[in-house]
Structure formats: C-alpha cells, structure tokens
Amino acid sequence: MSWKGAALGGPYGGLVLLAWPALFISLGWNFLEFAFFPPPPDTGIELGWLIPGVIFVTMGAAPLVAISFPSSSGSTRSIARAR
C-alpha cells in the first residue's frame, strides 16, 4: 500500500502512516469500552479487556507521538553543517 501511495506522489504516500494508529486505537477503544462497561452480569472492571486495551492504544498512539515530536538530533546536525 505504501509503494502504491508513493507511486501516486504527493500526500498519498504519507496517508498510509495513519492506517496503523487508526486500526490499533480503534481496537483499543473497543477493548477499553468492554473493560469499563462489560455486558451483564456487571462484575466491575474486567482485566481481560483492560490489559489488551491499554496495549493496543499504546501501539496506536506511539507512532502518532513519534511523528508529532520528531527527535531534535536531526535538526542539530543540519545546523552544525550549515556553519
């Protein structure tokens, strides 16, 4: 999918990067919803749904955070080369 997006050019190549976070955050949301609001009989918070929910949200959010806050090491190298 990324190969075809890159062949199209423009923003389409980067659009693929949103598929991973969209998938895992939505799955994590469903797990967390079942963890906090389980079907009857209500037994409180279900750890069997909570643990995968936290893992899936983390797997989806980590790439978004990495994309949003790129490392500063690359920018310092380019400044040093410009001098």
Instruction: Give the pLDDT confidence of 37-60 residue by residue, as tens digits.
Output: 988 887 889 999 999 999 999 999
CA atoms of 69 and 47, how far apart (whole Å): 32
Average pLDDT on 15-34 reads 91
Residue 1 has pLDDT above 80, yes or no: no
With tokens 């469903």, the residue in question is 30
Band of pLDDT at residue 76, cut at 50, 70 and 90: very low
Q: Where are the domains of the chain?
A: 19-67
Task: Say how many CA atoms lie within 13 Å of 21 toward its Cβ.
Answer: 13
Average pLDDT on 58-70 reads 87
CA atoms of 47 and 54, how far apart (whole Å): 10
Local structure of residue 46 (DSSP, 8 states): -
Q: What's the pLDDT at 79?
A: 47
Residue 77 has pLDDT above 70, yes or no: no
